[in-house]
């Protein structure tokens, strides 16, 4: 079941407009919601984990491609606003979407003197 759910999540994310709910996915797979949740749990997966992995992957692909702005990516993936997307992206990667995108385009420009990547938040010691 996790593979089926992931495939449906990726298809929805690529089309744009957001990710379907658990209930919508269970209905599309023609299984009761409780069975849907139980089977995911039995497989060691959760809807949240699958959704987050999908959103992170598709967001990174869209930003790496460079054809969409951060705002357009947020809208495409169904986030309520750019701030919500930015918050999620920092949680996933440790960097803001814009900094991550710039780093993908020019990786050597975003390394510190010791070769470690700069983060989106400077150290304030």
Distances (CA, A) of 8 to 1, 26, 35, 95, 108: 11, 11, 17, 27, 36
Spans of the chain below 50 pLDDT: 120, 122-125
18-50 pLDDT tens trace: 899 999 999 999 999 999 999 999 999 999 999
Token pair 């949680």 in the structure block, residue = 91
**pTM of the full structure:** 0.78
Tokens of 4: 């089926």
The SS3 call for residue 117 is strand
**pLDDT reported for residue 67:** 83
What was the pLDDT predicted at 91? 95
Cβ proximity of 102 and 119 under 8 Å: no
pLDDT at 107: 61
Query: What pLDDT was estimated at residue 114?
Result: 52
Domains of the chain (ranges, CATH numbers): 2-110 (1.10.10.60)
């Amino acid at each position: 079941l996790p593979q089926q759910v992931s495939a449906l999540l990726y298809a929805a994310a690529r089309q744009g407009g957001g990710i379907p709910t658990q209930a919508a996915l269970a209905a599309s797979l023609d299984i009761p919601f409780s069975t849907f949740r139980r089977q995911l749990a039995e497989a060691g997966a959760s809807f949240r984990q699958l959704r987050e992995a999908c959103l992170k992957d598709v967001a990174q692909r869209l930003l790496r491609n460079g054809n969409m702005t951060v705002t357009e990516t947020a809208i495409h993936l169904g986030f309520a606003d750019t701030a919500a997307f930015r918050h999620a992206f920092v949680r996933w990667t440790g960097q803001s979407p814009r900094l991550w995108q710039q780093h993908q385009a020019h990786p050597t420009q975003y390394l510190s003197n010791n070769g470690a990547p700069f983060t989106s938040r400077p150290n304030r010691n």
